[in-house]
Structures are given as C-alpha cells and as structure tokens.
C-alpha cells in the first residue's frame, strides 16, 4: 500500500482546486494520502512488530474499539472497491496497475483488521 500510494502521489499531479472539488470530480486523490499513512504503519509493523504506531492511529483498547475497527473495515472495503473501479478509467498501464494495487491493498488492510487484537 505504501509503495503504490507513494507512486500515485508523486506521479499524479493535482492542484488544490482539484483536491477541494474531489466530491464533484470523484477523484480518489485524498485516499492516496490515507494509503501513505496506513501503508507506512503496516510497513513499520511488518519490519519491527511494534504496535505503538498502530495504537497511535487506532487508539488503545477500549469498549468502543470494536466499533472503530468495524467502521475502518467498511471504509477500507468501500474505498478499495472505489479506487479499483476508478482504475478502469485511467489511460496509462502503470497508473492503472498502481491504482489497482492501491485498491486491493485497502481491501486487504480491511481484512487484516479482523485478525488484529
């Protein structure tokens, strides 16, 4: 997720007006930055096994943690499908593959939340 999000942020240039008008254009640009944060967290967790960054993003365990994880799960599934569908309308093959990779990684992140403590 981190690699495809980084590639998409660096290669697809957009202005602030496009970012503000994302609801009208249906561009998934803001989700690339979400993918950077989540991908960086997963990268650090995969390398070190340390959950401090996970707890910084998700919060410590509490009574409402399961609801937060469920909402992030639904967010990941919907945004992953959205980014994957958006990839069908891109012209470049490398951009299309990066978009598909980003969409699949959001879905896999959502699925991985089900196994988190």
pLDDT digits (tens, 9 = 90+) for 38-48: 888 888 888 88
3-class DSSP state for residue 38? helix
User: Burial of 58 by CB count in 10 Å (0-12 exposed, 13-18 middle, 19+ buried)?
Assistant: middle
Question: For the segment 49-60, what is each residue's pLDDT rounded down to a tens digit?
Answer: 888 877 777 777
> Domain coordinates of the chain in residue numbers?
2-113
pLDDT, position 60: 76
Q: What DSSP assignment string belongs to 44-94?
A: HHHHH---HHHHHHH-S--TTHHHHHHHHHHHHHHHHHHHHHHGGG-S-HH
CB neighbourhood size of 3 (10 A): 15
Distance CA 58, CA 28 (A): 22
Interval 60-82 mean pLDDT:
84
Higher pLDDT, 55 or 17: 55
Helix (H, G, I), strand (E, B) or coil at 95: helix
């Amino acid at each position: 997720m981190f690699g495809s999000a980084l590639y998409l942020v660096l290669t697809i240039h957009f202005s602030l007006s496009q970012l503000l008008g994302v609801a009208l254009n249906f561009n998934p640009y803001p989700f690339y930055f979400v993918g950077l944060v989540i991908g960086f967290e997963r990268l650090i967790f995969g390398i070190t096994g340390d959950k401090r960054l996970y707890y910084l993003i998700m919060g410590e365990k509490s009574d409402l943690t399961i609801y937060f994880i469920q909402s992030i799960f639904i967010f990941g599934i919907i945004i992953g499908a959205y980014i994957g569908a958006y990839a069908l309308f891109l012209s470049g093959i490398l951009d299309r593959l990066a978009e598909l990779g980003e969409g699949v990684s959001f879905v896999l992140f959502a699925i991985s939340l089900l196994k988190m403590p």
